[in-house]
Amino acid sequence: MSAAAARPAWRALLRLRRGYSVLLVLAAWETASRAGAVNTFLLPPASEVLVNLWNLATEGRLLFHLAESLLRVAAGLGLAVAAGIPLGLWKARSRLADAVLDPVMAFWFPVPKVGLIPLALLFFGFAHGSKIALVFADALLPLVVATYHGALHTDRRLIWSARAMGDSERRILWRVVLPAALPQIFTGLRLAVTVSLLVVFLAEMVASSSGLGHVMIYALRTLETKDVFSALVTISLIAFLADWLVIQARRRVLVWHA
Amino acid sequence: MNGAEEAAGKRRAARIGGATIVIAVLALWEGVSAGGFVDEQVLPRVTVVAAAWWELLLSGELPAQVASSLGRQAAGFSIAVVVGVVLGIAMARYRAIDDFAGPLITMILPIPKAALIPLVMLWFGIGDVAKTIVVFLGTILPVVVSAYHAAGSVDQVFLWSARSMGDNEAQLLRRVVLRAALPEIMSGIRMGLIISLIVLVGAEMLAGRGGIGWLVFYTLDTGAYRVTYAAMLTIAAIGFAYDRLFLAISRRLLHWVEQE
- pLDDT tens-place string over residues A133-161: 999 999 999 999 999 998 888 888 888 88
Per domain, the residue ranges of chain B are: 1-42, 44-253
Which residues, 6+ apart, have CB-to-CB distance to A100 below 8 Å? B17, B21
Between CA A35 and CA B140 the distance in angstroms is: 31
At B74-84, the pLDDT tens digits run: 999 999 999 99
**Closest partner CB to A18 (pick from B102, B113, B205):** B102
B112 contacts on A by Cβ (under 8 Å)? 194, 197-198, 201-202, 235-236, 239
Q: Is A13 at the interface with chain B, CB within 8 A?
A: no
B260 contacts on A by Cβ (under 8 Å)? none
Q: Closest by alpha carbon to B46, among B27, B21, B20?
A: B27
- What is the pLDDT, as a whole number, of residue A2? 46
At B24-83, the pLDDT tens digits run: 888 888 888 888 787 777 888 888 889 989 998 999 888 999 999 999 999 999 999 999
Which residues, 6+ apart, have CB-to-CB distance to A186 below 8 Å? A246, A249, A250, A253, A254
Q: Is A100 at the interface with chain B, CB within 8 A?
A: yes
Between CA B197 and CA B236 the distance in angstroms is: 10
**Closest partner CB to A205 (pick from B101, B206, B239):** B206
B13 contacts on A by Cβ (under 8 Å)? 99
Q: What is the CA radius of gyration of chain B?
A: 23
Residue A11 has pLDDT above 80, yes or no: no
**Closest partner CB to B240 (pick from A110, A116, A121):** A110
Between CA B184 and CA B206 the distance in angstroms is: 33
ipTM: 0.83
Burial of B183 from C-beta contacts in 10 A (0-12 / 13-18 / 19+): middle
**Closest partner CB to A228 (pick from B122, B198, B206):** B122
> What angle do helix axes B178-206 and B116-124 make, rounded to 10 degrees?
70
Q: Is A115 at the interface with chain B, CB within 8 A?
A: yes
A136 neighbors A154 (Cβ within 8 angstroms): no
* Residues in A 216-235 with any Cβ partner in B closer than 8 A: 216-217, 219-220, 225, 228-229, 231-232, 235
Q: Is B226 at the interface with chain A, CB within 8 A?
A: no
Question: To which CATH superfamily is domain B44-253 assigned?
Answer: MetI-like (1.10.3720.10)
Residue A255 has pLDDT above 70, yes or no: yes
Residue A1 has pLDDT above 80, yes or no: no
Q: Closest by alpha carbon to A85, among A171, A11, A162, A148?
A: A148
A257 neighbors A180 (Cβ within 8 angstroms): no
Average pLDDT over residues A113-117: 86
| Nearest chain B CA: its distance from A103 CA (Å) | 5
Burial of B170 from C-beta contacts in 10 A (0-12 / 13-18 / 19+): exposed
Sign of CA dihedral A159, A160, A164, A165: negative
Chain B's closest residue to A232, CA to CA, is B115
Q: Is A239 at the interface with chain B, CB within 8 A?
A: yes
Residue A128 has pLDDT above 60, yes or no: yes
At B106-123, the pLDDT tens digits run: 888 888 888 899 999 889
A195 neighbors A139 (Cβ within 8 angstroms): yes
Between CA A63 and CA A231 the distance in angstroms is: 11
Q: Is A169 at the interface with chain B, CB within 8 A?
A: no
Please tell me which of A106-120, A244-258, B21-35, B128-142 the model is most confident about, judged by mean pLDDT: B128-142
A113 neighbors A176 (Cβ within 8 angstroms): no
Q: Is A253 at the interface with chain B, CB within 8 A?
A: no
- What confidence tier does A257 reach under pLDDT thresholds 50, 70, 90? low
> What angle do helix axes B128-152 and B95-108 make, rounded to 10 degrees?
130
* Residues in A 69-88 with any Cβ partner in B closer than 8 A: none
Between CA A107 and CA B215 the distance in angstroms is: 23
At A174-198, the pLDDT tens digits run: 888 888 888 889 989 999 999 999 9
* Residues in B 119-138 with any Cβ partner in A closer than 8 A: 119, 121-123
**Closest partner CB to A19 (pick from B103, B114, B228):** B103
- What confidence tier does B1 reach under pLDDT thresholds 50, 70, 90? very low
At B207-222, the pLDDT tens digits run: 878 889 899 888 888 8
> What angle do helix axes A61-93 and A178-206 make, rounded to 10 degrees?
140
Cβ <8 Å between A115 and B112? no
Cβ <8 Å between A99 and B13? yes
Q: Is A50 at the interface with chain B, CB within 8 A?
A: no
Q: Is B198 at the interface with chain A, CB within 8 A?
A: yes
At A217-234, the pLDDT tens digits run: 999 989 888 899 999 999
In chain A the domains, ranked by start, together with CATH numbers, are 2-43 (no CATH), 49-253 (1.10.3720.10)
Residue A200 has pLDDT above 90, yes or no: yes
Q: Closest by alpha carbon to B104, among A15, A19, A229?
A: A19
- What is the pLDDT, as a whole number, of residue B180? 82
At A59-114, the pLDDT tens digits run: 888 899 999 999 999 999 999 999 999 999 988 888 888 888 888 888 888 888 88
Q: What percent of chain B has pLDDT over 90?
A: 23
Q: Is B206 at the interface with chain A, CB within 8 A?
A: yes
- What is the pLDDT, as a whole number, of residue A4? 45
- What confidence tier does B176 reach under pLDDT thresholds 50, 70, 90? confident
| Nearest chain A CA: its distance from B49 CA (Å) | 14
Number of CB pairs, chain A paired with chain B, less than 8 A apart: 150
- What is the pLDDT, as a whole number, of residue B259? 56
